[in-house]
Every structure is written in C-alpha cells, then in structure tokens.
Chain A
C-alpha cells in the first residue's frame, strides 16, 4: 500500500524507504541527536503525541514495522528476531551509527532484539512497557492476552485516558478506508509476530546480558496489560537499567503522558 499523509504526523515527513527489498514507511521529524523510535501495537500513528514532543529535542526516525501501517510485510520476516536484524540493516542504510533507541511495548521488544545482536548500537536505550520476555509460566499469565480480549476491552485497557480511534466496533466501521486499512494491518502484524509464543522470544532473556548500552526501563503505574511480576522479570533481565514509573499512566505511557515521557527520555539521553 502507498504511504499517505497522516494528519497527526503533519509536523514531519512520511516517505518510503527500501530496506533489503522491503518497502518501509518512515517518518522523520525534528532536529538534534538522532533517535530511532520503534512503535508498539498501536502503530506509528498511535505514538504521534510522543513523536511530536521528541521532535523538539531529537532528529526522530520512526518506521512502521514491516506489515504495520503502510510498510510492506513479508512471510519471511515473521519473528521479532528477524526484525532485530532488519532494523540493524536499516540503521546502516540510514548511516545512523549510535542513535538513541526508544521502543514502546512491542517496539521495546524489537529494540531489545536489536541490542542483543549489536550490544552497543544505541547511545542510550529506552524500553517503555516492553514485551518480549516470556509472558507466562504454564498456567500463570503475566501479560494480558490481547487476542482473547474484545476490541472494546483491549482499547480501554491500553491506557488510562481515552482509547484510540476505532477501539469499539461502532466507531471502527465509520473510519475512512485508509484508516481502517492501517488498523487492520496493525492487527494482522500483531498476530503475525505475536500469536505464539505469545508476544515473546523464549531466548530473549538468555541474551539481554549482552546489551551494553545504558538503558532506561519505564512503565505506567496503572499498566493493565503487563503485571508487576513481568516488570520484575525485565528488571532482572537488565539489572543495571534505570527504572522510571509514571504515576497515573497505563500501558501506553506515550499516550497518557507524552510530554512527561519525552522529557524523561531527553534527560536520560543528556539532551
């Protein structure tokens, strides 16, 4: 599909970038030190308020992951492990030696995969409500199963504030077709990468010790997707990471408190 303009991203430019034969939708905005932003299950558009804030301090590079938004998908890129290699190739292509790398939720998992493969590739690494570690232990679930929730319930649980557009069937069916297509592609890609093992790479925890970039782990205090136990698993996986808890924010910290999150990222990156 073609990359079209998105109203909420009008403060930057959307363009198409060919990475190893896969056509990627890439958003660029702002000026300053380079920052790679890796979006979550809500897609590039779901992070628009945070990107707007980050663009004040950074040159932001924010791709839609293969299969999400208007980025081409590939049956050969079906593991987040594949995405890790894919984005390292993209950084080389863009000439980004050591950007700040920020990933939210699913994007946090992608960022962690990249850094286990090239441990020092980020000048600073920020993982906000990351997925990727095993999400359950037999009968005990540590992360809510998004595939078992109704669209409405999932929409409501993702953040403390109002749900994103199309989070219930009534508004969904009234969306313009290009918007609907993006949402349906985001859903499909979430399933492609995260159906099973559920939103996890069972090997990731064996590899996180390789990450040498200084790391900030952040969560919303009222995250209704990942449990306290799961956050502890991430702290153990990255024992040297700084930890920031945003009071009053949910899983999509970037939607609930975009300015607060952006200034914390800027402070952590020394900007």
Chain B
C-alpha cells in the first residue's frame, strides 16, 4: 500500500469564531501574515513527506477557513519544484465549478512537465456549496463535468495538430498545449466515489477510484469498481486503482497518539459548520436524489459505526476509529488497524492519509509523519497487492 500525505491546510485560528466555517465566514477574520506562516508550514510538512518516501495529495476549497489551498495546481506547482521523489496528486480539480477547462489542462501539463512526470490528477465535480463562489449553473452540472473531462483528456493526449472545440458548454478556437505533459497519453486520472454506482463508471474507464471517510461504505464502493472493471477490461484491477482517505494519528505511545487525534478532530467538527441552504443549492442534486435524501433523514448519509448507529459529528476518537475514519495509536496499533480495514474492504492500494488535520501543530505533525513513514509504511507496503476475498461482513 502506498501512503499519500494530505492536509487541508486549515486556517485553524478561525475555528474559534462562532458560526459557519464556509461560504459566509467573514474574510476579515483572516490575518494574511498568519495565513502565510501556516501555508509555508504545511508546505514544509509536504516536503518532509517527500523525504520520508511518502507521496503527496493536495486539494482545494474556496471561501473556507478549513482549507486555504484555493488551487490544487498552484500548491502542486510549488511542490513540483521543491520535492524530488513523491508522486503529486491533485484531488481534485473541481471541474464543474471551473469556467475554463482549457486552463485546467494547461496547468496540468505545466506541473507535469515541471515535476518530471510525477503528477496524478483527480478530476472531481466540486463541492456543491462552492457553486456560490464559482457561480456556475447548478443544473446540468454533470453534463458540463463530462464535457470538460473530454476536452481536458483530448488536450493532454493530443499527439497531432492543434484542434478547435465547439461543444455544448465550451468553445475554443485553438487547443494547443505549451508545454505538453510528459506523461502520455496523460497523467493518471483519479475520481472520487461515495457509492457503488459512481464507482462503476470509474471502473469502466479504468481510472483510480478514491473514497473519502466513508468507513464501511468503502467496501461497496470498491466492489462496484471491481465488478465494472472486470466487465470492461476482462481482468481484476490492481489494488493501486483503489484509494481510501482517513485520518492517522501515530505516536510512540497511545496517550500521545490520542492527544494528537483530539487536536485533529476539529477537522470533522469544522467541516460540518455550514449553513443548510448552502449544502445543496437549488438545482444541484437531481429531483429524485433530493426526494430520497429528504425521506431518508439527516442521518442517512452519516458513516456508520460497527453497531450500525450513525457516527455523531462530535463523536469520540474511539467512535471515529470504530467507523473506520480515524486510525490512532502506536505504529503497531496503526498498522494493525489499517491491515484489518484493508482486509475488510477487500483491499486497496492507496491510503490517502490526513497526517495533519485541524489544529495539530508542526512538531506533532513532523513526529506523526516520521513514525508513519519509517515504521508503518514499510509494513503496509508488504500487504497483499492482489485482490482479496472479503473475509469480514462486520463492516457491511
């Protein structure tokens, strides 16, 4: 299993403000000098991950104290230059919230060239509440996503002449990549799924499929992916096509590890702080999906603990661990917990590890990453890379 260090790069001093952490949080609460110090600190931690042999994942959000990286590719452009070994994953670029997919392709090509071909690219829809910043049309979101996807792939993989594009949503007179990406036909493409249905589409296309903080649901996501992959490609996908995102708090002793986990937990509690009308802008979700959500109630989408109960947002560290969202303890503990989760979900080849989250400080993050890099990663690398039979039903 490969490990990817990931931090949302929060402006955590704002967590003390009352109210929403996204969309409506006043920008006057941001001290730009403090923001700059924190951003540099998070970059230092990414560089440490590179030294430790870990890989790197970056995301982006907008108008949020929970994530100051407002552009995956800007952050990765820095890391392309400042790291040497790590694979660099943008997960992801919010396509349906982007007005200019050609610009997205150009940025991918530039960072791929700059990094010597170490870039991997997640093409994601984008968060619903960020329609309020992008102001892109909520209806027709998925049509626009796939047209942008088609254009970007066509641009990156083009070996022939420059071309023009007259689509339903996008129009360009000249598509010409200067520079072109090193990786051909294009850097590995990632997508994210929270259900077997969406995973099937990615299995068919052979893209890497990641699921975030979904606990037991990861198993059905991966199963859906494998089934569609086998159907389309006639063979089982390698585990490197599957990824799971979770938080990891590792320390020399359990007490310290749990203390770290407590500092990271504000990632979960702040992510939930958003006024309800921004969660699901009118026209964003299909009518049938809205009806199902309303009828199922607020808890339907929450990850489940092993006893079947929904995981409370302000749950304990133990509850988050029980649901498979948090791996906490000594290197032995973390290895054991991850190996078990790996087996329970049928196996996945990438751990997208939040080794920094919430209010976890620099010294703690450095120690966390170092222990994972030196003591956990080598043992996880030995986990079976072949698809394995699902042996436990407990997480279903």
Contacts and interface: CB of A to CB of B under 8 A. Distances in A.
A and B: interacting chains = yes
A150 B276 contact: yes
B394 interface: no
Given A191-B281, A195-B137, A184 B291 contact: yes
A177 B138 contact: no
Contacts of A150: 275-277
Contact of B135 (A149, A177, A181, A196): A196
Main secondary structure of the interface of A (DSSP, over half): helix
Contacts of A195: 135, 137-139, 282-283
Main secondary structure of the interface of B (DSSP, over half): loop
Classify chain A's interface size. 20 to 34
A50 B139 CA distance: 30
A210 interface: no
B283 A177 contact: no
A192 B281 CA distance: 11
A177 B276 CA distance: 22
Interface string A39-79: 00000000000000000000000000000000000010010
Nearest to B281: A147
Given A172-B294, A173-B297, A184 B135 contact: no
A177 B291 CA distance: 8
Interface string B273-316: 00111000111100100110011010000000000000000000
B44 to A, nearest CB: 38
B282 A190 contact: yes
B387 to A, nearest CB: 40
Contacts of B290: 184, 187
Given A148-B277, A150-B277, A191-B283, A181 B143 contact: no
A191 B137 CA distance: 8
B268 interface: no
Nearest to B140: A75
B132 interface: yes
A191 B138 contact: yes
B277 A149 contact: yes
A173 B276 CA distance: 15
A196 B137 CA distance: 7
Contacts of A192: 137, 139, 283
A188 B294 contact: no
A150 B139 CA distance: 19
Contact of A173 (B135, B281, B294): B294
Interface of B: 132, 135, 137-140, 143, 275-277, 281-284, 287, 290-291, 294-295, 297
Closest 4 interchain pairs by CB? Answer: A191-B283, A191-B282, A187-B282, A192-B139
14 contacts: A75-B140, A147-B132, A148-B277, A150-B275, A151-B277, A173-B294, A173-B295, A177-B295, A180-B291, A184-B287, A187-B283, A190-B282, A195-B137, A195-B283
